[in-house]
Amino acid sequence: KAGVTQTPRYLIKTRGQQVTLSCSPISGHRSVSWYQQTPGQGLQFLFEYFSETQRNKGNFPGRFSGRQFSNSRSEMNVSTLELGDSALYLCASSPGLAAGGTGELFFGEGSRLTVL
């Protein structure tokens, strides 16, 4: 099976712009989680989607949003970018516990966002 695919891998934006990141999970995985990783804050949970429903959300402002499509692909959007949004954004998929998953997350390589 192909792994988790995130696009784009690298992008540069300026303050005030918005950005959309995409994540294609492993085939058959219905749960997609997003994380922000920065040197200062470490790995911070953004949100988790399962079957197109957001089940959980981390402590981020409303500028951070996401969605999941019927094919389980997910996107996250950050509006009105700030310098502090520069980070590695990681997507992870899993089958979901109800589908026999163990809770293990399968990560993509991430999208590195630089805000100038």
Per rule CB under 8 A, is residue 2 in the interface with other proteins?
A: no
The 66-105 site mask, x for binding other proteins (CB under 8 A), equals ----------------------x-x-x----x----xxxx
Binding segment for other proteins (CB under 8 A), chosen from 14-22, 31-39, 60-68, 70-78, is 31-39
Closest CA to 76 of 20, 32, 29: 20
Q: Which stretch binds other proteins (CB under 8 A): 11-19, 39-47, 61-69, 74-82?
A: 39-47
Beta carbon nearer to other proteins, 18 or 56: 56
Q: Rule CB under 8 A: choose which of 13, 20, 45, 65 binds other proteins.
A: 45
72: amino acid identity, one letter: S
Nearer to other proteins, 79 or 101 (CB): 101
Interacting residues of 81 by C-beta distance below 8 A, sequence separation 6+: 13, 14, 15, 16, 17, 18, 19, 115
| Nearest alpha-carbon partner for 87 in 50, 25, 53, 40 | 40
55 contacts other proteins (rule: CB under 8 A): yes
Query: What is the rounded CA–CA span in Å between residue 71 and residue 93?
Result: 13
